[in-house]
Structure 1
Amino acid sequence: MAAPTAPWVRTRLRTAPGAAAALGVLVLLAAFLAAAFPRAVAGYEDDGLRRTVAELPPHRAVLAVTTAEPGIGRPDSERAQLLREDVVRDAFRTVHGLLPAPFEVDAHASSYGVRSTNALAADETWLPRPDRRPARFQLYAQGALAGHATEVTGRLPRKVAAASEVEAAVTGPVAERMRLKPGSVLHLPAGGEKRITVRITGVVTPDDPAGGYWGIDTLLRTPELKHEDPRDPESPRYWLAGLILPPDAAPVLLQTDGKPEQYLQYLPDGSDLTASDLPRLRGMLANMTAGQGLLKAREATNAPYTFIASGLGDALTSYERLRSGISPVVSVAAYGTATVACIVLLMAGGLGADRRRGEFALLRSRGASLKGIAGRLGAESAVVAVPAAALGCFLAVRTTDHGTLPPAVLGAAAVAVLACAALPVRALFAHRTVRMQAERDDVATARPSARRTVAELTVLVLAIGAIVALRRRGTGEGDSLVALAPVLVGVVAAFLLVRLYPLPLRRLTGPMSRLRGAVGYLSLARAGRAQAGAGTAVLPLLALLTALTTAAFGGSVLAGIDAARNRAALLATGADARVALSQPLPDGTAARVKAVPGVRDVAPVALRTDLRTGTGRQVSVAAVDRAAYARLSRHTGLGAFPVDALAPVAGGKGPVPALASSSLARRFPDGRLTLQVNGQELPVRIAAVRPTTPALADDERDFLVMDAAGFGRASGTTTDPSTLLLTGDAIDGDALRKAAGSGVVVQTLAAERARYVDSPLQSGATDVYVSAVAAGAGFAVLALMLSLARATPERLALLARLRTLGLTRRQGRRLLILEALPQALLAAAGGTLTGWAAIRLLAPGLDLSTLALADARSAAVSRLTTDPLSLAVPAVCVLGVAVGVAALQAWWAGRRGSVKELRAGESA
């Protein structure tokens, strides 16, 4: 092809600056979203990981290195050397150097020292002695005490020369509970009849009681009341507290029966952690707890019995489980939005190729090669698309704080490549052969080519095969196939609907031609015509179906999350509000509570969780006012029952009727059982069976619900209520707590519901999901407008010609609206069906509990279900946009003159 006299790109951009600007804006938006999405996902994942590490209690987050009885089997002099402060400090620093990134140590919160593992009983009788058991102490020779205490009453302990005497400090809570003060003296066993003297020299105030230095071993700052037998709550009790010795007094512990151990405690600093660091962090923990790192730590401590443990690994596993449950849901919106955005870019290229069809046909007729045309069109698109994509990537990086740069650059580059290739590829396919005039293509009468049929069948087979494989394998694995399911359903539906679309048009063309008015026939004929070719009708339809499916799926997900949280909150409270005490409530509590604004009804309940059946099975019993409780059950939907089911037997004789849990009823199929109440057997008859009940909705044990009056007479016990279940609207929580009194636990449904939006991983994923669905909806509207704009010049010319034949403006508006309705109805109906199909496809294996709830026990109520509103609203919006655009085109055509449209030589 001969060299042009003027540069191609400059000439074409000057000829159509509006189209170039529109392409630039479209590429800018698409590149911004493509670059921002991975960074937004990385943002909430990073925040979730950092919150997980930051909120982990110190005793679980710490990487604890312990050496059991250092130097065991060696002479006491060598063992004493191993417990010296400088030796322990050097071991602390050496092991610290073994901890690779990304495990960053919080140096201020970490600690080291020597402690006794056996508690030592004190002889002093003035110490508190519950159940006449002497108080016991554990000794801590922990370093850097002065740097972690804000106040000191007395002075800090120092090393003394006497081998049988040592100084110690205690915290305020220990001093108060154990009756210690500066100058107090304790005598602790040192083997046989020997004793060591511990003199209290100071009472310290921790600078951060919940921090790592004081919070890893809470006995260091807070005394504990222990049982002689931890498994028997009735066994004698004793007080256990910690005494803080100076670090260089650690060798004294060898003289006691405390079996000292060396400990090095490293608390992680997770402020700079990212989700991409998770594999390396888990590998480091595995290496330190059971790999080469452990062997090196044993060399550093010069002790073969050195062990390393941390609860951080379990927390990371929980985080990964939560993230893996959330990722498939978020990727559904990502894949759907990406598909719609790609289709819109392809449609924009197709619209540009259609607009310049005559130009390309003329070039081809004069000998221009496909390669030459494609190169110039690619350069023309690149001049606009590449800077726009770069700007979109820059804005995405500047507006997001997390994530690495490569994913953002790759996303923006993919958008730029697609935008640059859309116009040349579309022009190449349209002008493979030289044509002087475009052929008319009518969907209603055109017959698809064999090549198109093979291509469609190939895509259909692949899509159906993937869907079948997904159904057989399940949707719990979280791979890309799960996220692509809505897109695959949309592909299948689009091809099927495009094939079925001509059938009703052919059926209706004949009857419409026999009607008196011409508007109906013209609109039907116009609806069947596709100027750009029947094959390209799949693109706008696929965009709309994918967007509608994603929007419907997203709406159902959000509705499912909201329903799951409401259900979990209701199970936790059992009513709109709950007032409870471990013992019977004070007299008058019910009356005061009922007077609180917003309270409509009160159901008193007496709860007993210590009863057993005749077979020894533990069961929870709720003695209720049957009328109020029946109203409450109907209001909450938790095990509603007829009030007469719990009516006592006439005369007060016979078994007490009860409402039983499903699990308990299965154990007593005949409906008869006995309860052990105050050493007597109480016969019970199961009158109704329900899976749950308001008073015990969050209790996993078997339950029985009985009428309070009947239960009290039959068992001879009082049934004063310990719980009040309230129903009402907008109950004031503060007023309710004030009316209930001090010491009473008050729960409201609204406060419990708000508890489930805490995790950054959950809230961030929800925000990203909503944003992706909104972006997909915006691209879908743009796809619809592009498909309608493709025929705008022809429509305006048609209306101008018809107006010269007497067509009124009202009839012109009806013509354009009726012309747009078939395709809009097709997209709306198809989108509703594909959305329903995608939800049914993914629902069996998609668990929303990780995205909705913090409590995994509520997973059973967190399955994805179809939300009718989410299916209907997007479909109605498509119809509204189609009708609105058609009406706007008719209004614009009425305001413009007809001269331009009726010029000689203007093609229709």
Structure 2
Amino acid sequence: MRLPGAAGRVRAYGGQFLLLAVLTVVTALLITGVPRVADRLTGQGLREYVANQPPALRDLGYTQAPPTFASTVQPAVAAQADQLDTIENRMPAAVREAIGQRWYTADTMPGRLRGPTLDSGKGLIDLMLRTGNGLRAAATLTGGRWPESGVTTAGAVEVALADTVATSLGVAPGDRFSLSVLDPTDPTGRPLKSRPVELVGVWRPNDERDGVWDGLPSMLRLTPPEGDGKPYVAVAYAADAGVDAVGATGWPVSFGWRYRIAPERLDPGRLDALIAGLDGLERVRPASVRLTQGVDIALRRFASALAAARTLLAVIAAGLLATLAGLSLLAARLAARRRRAEFHLIRARGGSTADVLRRGLAESALVLPAAAGIGWLLGGLLPGTGTSARWVLLAGLLVTVLPPLAALAVGRGVAGRSDLGGRSPAVRLTVEVVVLGVALLGAFLLRRRGLTAGSVDPLLVSVPVLLAVAAALLALRAYPWPLRLLSRVTARARGSVAFLGTARAGRAASTGPLVVVVLAVATAAFCGVVATGIETGRDTAAARAVPGDVLVTGERFAPDTAAQLAALPGVRAVAPLLTVPAERPTADRAGRPSPIRELRVLLVDAAGFAEVARRAGVPASVPDPLLAGGDGSTPLPALVSPAVADELAEAGLADAQGRRPAWLNVQGNRLPVRAAATVDGFALVDRSVTRFVVLPWPALPADALHPLAPTGFVLAGPGVDPAEVDRVAVEGQRRYLRIGTVETSDKARAPEVTSRAEVRAELGGSGVNGLLVFGFALGAAGGAVLGLLGLAFAVLAGARSRGQVLSRLRTMGLSRRQWRGLLLVELTPLVLVSVLTGAVVGALLPLLLTPVLGLPAFTGGVTVRPRFEPGLVAGVSALALLALAFAITVEAVNNRRMRLGEVLRLGEES
């Protein structure tokens, strides 16, 4: 029991202790390193996700209604600028810690700008004066000077314009204008009050993406009119004193304070506290200030995806840790079996159970705690936040006590008669029934107890392990029966290799190694199936958003735009689209109101749409009712959402036969529609839209009073140039919006060109995707490697008996080639059963766990449907072949090391 004796025994059995030490290091590394890497990837994903959000989802905006200031209230702007600190100090601590940049602005109410140098072709111009912090530091003068005194000696307010705005208006430094507040009740535009304005400088922004320029309207360009007869809106920079001077005359001035969430200040561990703090901002804001923010929307979306990713990672880690625990137990048992005679001798000399335990504990205490410490240190080298060492200590303690417990187990019975110490069949059957019952009960509770999606609990991580163990036990019970039948057939055939191989393979294999192999392969297959399901879901989401290769959206396009798009190089097919965002159906052609609420209307050229989807390789099906089409004189067949179908049925409109259709006003055309089918969704209709109608493009007569103008196009053409598509779309919209010789296209929003590849990359390139990739790679690679190691244990568990048989057969004339064939026949069923059982369990686990994993958080809301793809079948087949080759190699190496002749001469305990 002394330390030198224990050290000598460790040195004598160094290979066995080295294997246990390696497994302990890997276990400690997994426990320590995975949380650190996951923390680093989570933080990186959170920062990238927030940084890619639009300003509306990153800013906390506070605004105050335009008050009027008496001339005695000076300086008004400086007084309101102090609110920047006051508002921030009232925020919750978690929100204050996340704020980076912050700005305040003071904006005057828009006034009509008049002057002799203004471009008359622009029509009406309204001008706002703005001052605030950070504006001058973010721009460079290109002409003139910055407003300094605020008001010139002549009483004119000094302003500076962006170079793009000054060029559009045709003005230069030194020009003078009048700024007037118009009487809203006077149609002639009589001014209520006026103020002279002088342009003293022109500037250019240093970086247009700087957050200081975000605002409505923007200072960097003219804001187009909101409708016919409406003015353009420009924003000019003025000094604080200039805005004070304008406000002192009773001109309304509004104030705003904006705080931007800094991605580098975000911590995933404080994400819940930040969301809670954002929820409480409304309660702590000043009474006269209105809050506008959408930060919580983006953060909740990320939190949902993070919870689902952590759930997946927990399930994968549980499978790997369970596999490592099984391998450690097998290694301890194998080491104890090799020393069975030693333990029997101790007991024969009067040694007690405590003596055996102390002996084994002294040996393992010299190696395994140090191995756990090495694993903990190696895990600490990985980047990420430090993790608690208590789980490593617990794992090290459990592994340390495994060898003495295994020694105690194999020390029972009679020396040299291992058959007398075997387990009772009744005990084994009872254990298997209990494991199977607990696994089924856990699966039932997991599906029925209402587990919140994304949560992690012991039941969630233990059920997959229990199901894999239960499946392995069932496979052990089932697979010997067909082999025994095959053995009877081969007994009548010529040759002994097939008969002997199937006869030995038909005997039950060792339980422990096969369970470990099934568990490892199930973990790897689970990762592959879920990863494939997520990728397929993302492809489906991208195809729903862009059911082709490129999607063009705008206001209205000239009818010949489709032909020009089709003529572009690389375009294979084009289909026009027409979207009406909000339309309320009527009960008849005359426009009598109906009880149906507003809905979205989508018109598609069904045949062209189907051709685009086919050429683009997109699985977007077009129902037969749309392909039937219509001419607008009879009720058009419509695909309606369930909510709309219910309202139509209640109102008695749009029945399938079209006896009493509903009517829709589409660009001035009254179109009758009938409900031909009810669908939950359709391509180009966002999943958040629950009220929609999809119609085929009607064939209106050539002399129709209001010919339909498309509002978008979907293209098939993977190699088309997006810049060329954008050019043709802009020209097509400009041609439609040109009225005679008057150009009005600059009043419309520019067309947008979106590719399916961009949407797909956005779904899979930000947020928690890095954490997902890490989890799936860890599970797939770790499961495969540990499965091969478990298979090596399964082979070594029966190596001694196979060695004795092969030794006798070699002395009876068995050739080396027949020997290899016998190994192949005996090991193939074991390998195939273990690998295929694990693959089947791994493929079925996602079907059980999908409702509680929250996988739609990774696919833009699209339901993930796990499937065993052909690629995964090929991967499992390749793994089975690799495992078989590995098993035969291990057996051959072991036989060569054991020297089969000596095995026959010395007997079982050699």
Alignment TM-score, normalising by the size of structure 1: 0.80
- Given candidates 550, 559, 562, the residue that maps to 1:584 is 559
Alignment partner of 1:208 is 2:199: no
- Deviation of 1:793 after TM superposition, in Å, equals 3.8
Alignment partner of 1:319 is 2:310: no
Q: Report what 1:864 is aligned to.
A: 866
Alignment partner of 1:169 is 2:160: yes
Q: Report what 2:103 is aligned to.
A: 111
Note the 1:404-419 alignment, pairs <5 A: 404-407=385-388, 409-410=389-390, 412-419=392-399
Note the 1:699-778 alignment, pairs <5 A: 701-705=692-696, 711-712=700-701, 731=719, 733=721, 737=725, 749-778=756-785
8 Å CA contact 1:220, 1:243 repeated in 2: yes
The residue identity in structure 1 corresponding to 2:248 is Q
Deviations 1:584-619 (A, max 9, x none): 2358636634xx46x6x5355475759997647764
The alpha-carbon distance between structure 1 residues 867 and 655, as it changes in their structure 2 partners (threshold 3 A), is same
8 Å CA contact 2:178, 2:194 repeated in 1: no
Q: Report what 1:602 is aligned to.
A: 573
The alpha-carbon distance between structure 1 residues 762 and 105, as it changes in their structure 2 partners (threshold 3 A), is same
Aligned mates of 2:386, 2:277 — CA distance in 1 = 26
The residue identity in structure 1 corresponding to 2:172 is K
- Deviation of 1:629 after TM superposition, in Å, equals 4.2
8 Å CA contact 1:813, 1:891 repeated in 2: no
SS where residue 364 of structure 1 aligns?
helix
Q: Report what 1:274 is aligned to.
A: 267
- Deviation of 1:343 after TM superposition, in Å, equals 1.5
Aligned mates of 2:303, 2:247 — CA distance in 1 = 44
Q: Report what 2:802 is aligned to.
A: 795
Gaps of 5+ in 1: 228-232, 299-303
The alpha-carbon distance between structure 1 residues 606 and 565, as it changes in their structure 2 partners (threshold 3 A), is closer
Alignment partner of 1:448 is 2:428: no
Q: Report what 1:784 is aligned to.
A: 791
- Deviation of 1:238 after TM superposition, in Å, equals 1.6
The residue identity in structure 2 corresponding to 1:146 is R
- Deviation of 1:782 after TM superposition, in Å, equals 0.8
SS where residue 300 of structure 2 aligns?
helix
Q: Report what 2:369 is aligned to.
A: 386
Aligned mates of 1:62, 1:738 — CA distance in 2 = 30
- Deviation of 1:203 after TM superposition, in Å, equals 2.1
Aligned mates of 2:262, 2:605 — CA distance in 1 = 51
8 Å CA contact 1:122, 1:137 repeated in 2: yes
8 Å CA contact 1:613, 1:676 repeated in 2: yes
| Percent sequence identity over aligned pairs | 25
Aligned mates of 2:341, 2:638 — CA distance in 1 = 81
8 Å CA contact 1:109, 1:211 repeated in 2: no
- Deviation of 1:662 after TM superposition, in Å, equals 7.2
Aligned mates of 1:807, 1:438 — CA distance in 2 = 29
Note the 1:691-706 alignment, pairs <5 A: 701-705=692-696
The alpha-carbon distance between structure 1 residues 714 and 695, as it changes in their structure 2 partners (threshold 3 A), is farther
Aligned mates of 2:674, 2:805 — CA distance in 1 = 82
SS where residue 571 of structure 1 aligns?
helix
The residue identity in structure 2 corresponding to 1:421 is V
Alignment partner of 1:889 is 2:884: no
- Deviation of 1:645 after TM superposition, in Å, equals 6.3
- Given candidates 388, 391, 403, the residue that maps to 1:423 is 403
8 Å CA contact 2:640, 2:675 repeated in 1: no
- Given candidates 447, 472, 480, the residue that maps to 1:494 is 472
Aligned mates of 1:849, 1:379 — CA distance in 2 = 52
The residue identity in structure 1 corresponding to 2:387 is P
Deviations 1:13-54 (A, max 9, x none): 321333333333333333333322112221221122212332
Deviations 1:620-679 (A, max 9, x none): 33346679849949965433577996498xxx9984886756768885333435776786
8 Å CA contact 1:143, 1:247 repeated in 2: no
Note the 1:184-263 alignment, pairs <5 A: 184-189=176-181, 194-216=193-215, 218-227=217-226, 233=227, 236-249=229-242, 251-263=244-256
SS where residue 224 of structure 2 aligns?
strand
Q: Report what 1:639 is aligned to.
A: 621
8 Å CA contact 1:584, 1:606 repeated in 2: no
SS where residue 621 of structure 1 aligns?
strand
The alpha-carbon distance between structure 1 residues 622 and 732, as it changes in their structure 2 partners (threshold 3 A), is closer
Alignment TM-score, normalising by the size of structure 2: 0.80
Alignment partner of 1:466 is 2:429: no
User: Which deviates further from its counterpart, 260-269 or 676-685?
Assistant: 676-685
The alpha-carbon distance between structure 1 residues 585 and 115, as it changes in their structure 2 partners (threshold 3 A), is same
Alignment partner of 1:33 is 2:30: yes
8 Å CA contact 1:48, 1:760 repeated in 2: yes
- Deviation of 1:65 after TM superposition, in Å, equals 4.7
Deviations 1:475-522 (A, max 9, x none): 652223344442232133234344556666777787777877654564
Q: Report what 2:838 is aligned to.
A: 831
SS where residue 304 of structure 2 aligns?
helix
SS where residue 271 of structure 1 aligns?
helix
Alignment partner of 1:621 is 2:603: yes
8 Å CA contact 1:639, 1:691 repeated in 2: no
User: Which deviates further from its counterpart, 637-646 or 215-224?
Assistant: 637-646
- Deviation of 1:803 after TM superposition, in Å, equals 0.9
Note the 1:35-114 alignment, pairs <5 A: 35-66=32-63, 77=72, 79-80=73-74, 83=76, 85=78, 87-88=79-80, 91-93=83-85, 103=95, 109-114=101-106
Q: Number of aligned residue pairs: give it.
A: 855
Aligned mates of 1:627, 1:733 — CA distance in 2 = 20
User: Which deviates further from its counterpart, 208-217 or 622-631?
Assistant: 622-631
Alignment partner of 1:330 is 2:303: no
The alpha-carbon distance between structure 1 residues 99 and 366, as it changes in their structure 2 partners (threshold 3 A), is farther
The residue identity in structure 2 corresponding to 1:187 is L
Aligned mates of 1:66, 1:612 — CA distance in 2 = 34
- Deviation of 1:355 after TM superposition, in Å, equals 1.9
Aligned mates of 2:247, 2:709 — CA distance in 1 = 58
8 Å CA contact 1:475, 1:846 repeated in 2: no
SS where residue 788 of structure 1 aligns?
helix
The alpha-carbon distance between structure 1 residues 866 and 486, as it changes in their structure 2 partners (threshold 3 A), is farther
Aligned mates of 1:106, 1:694 — CA distance in 2 = 38
- Deviation of 1:785 after TM superposition, in Å, equals 0.9
SS where residue 224 of structure 1 aligns?
coil
Deviations 1:725-759 (A, max 9, x none): 6657x645479759968757766554554343221
- Deviation of 1:817 after TM superposition, in Å, equals 2.8
8 Å CA contact 1:695, 1:725 repeated in 2: no
Q: Report what 1:301 is aligned to.
A: none
Alignment partner of 1:265 is 2:258: yes
- Deviation of 1:11 after TM superposition, in Å, equals 0.8
- Deviation of 1:563 after TM superposition, in Å, equals 1.9
Alignment partner of 1:181 is 2:181: no
The alpha-carbon distance between structure 1 residues 627 and 421, as it changes in their structure 2 partners (threshold 3 A), is closer
Deviations 1:446-473 (A, max 9, x none): 74244x5555554444332221111113
SS where residue 264 of structure 2 aligns?
coil
The alpha-carbon distance between structure 1 residues 819 and 634, as it changes in their structure 2 partners (threshold 3 A), is same
Note the 1:350-389 alignment, pairs <5 A: 350-389=333-372
How large is the Cα RMSD of the aligned pairs?
Answer: 4.6
Aligned mates of 1:739, 1:225 — CA distance in 2 = 20
Aligned mates of 2:780, 2:897 — CA distance in 1 = 37
Q: Report what 1:669 is aligned to.
A: 655
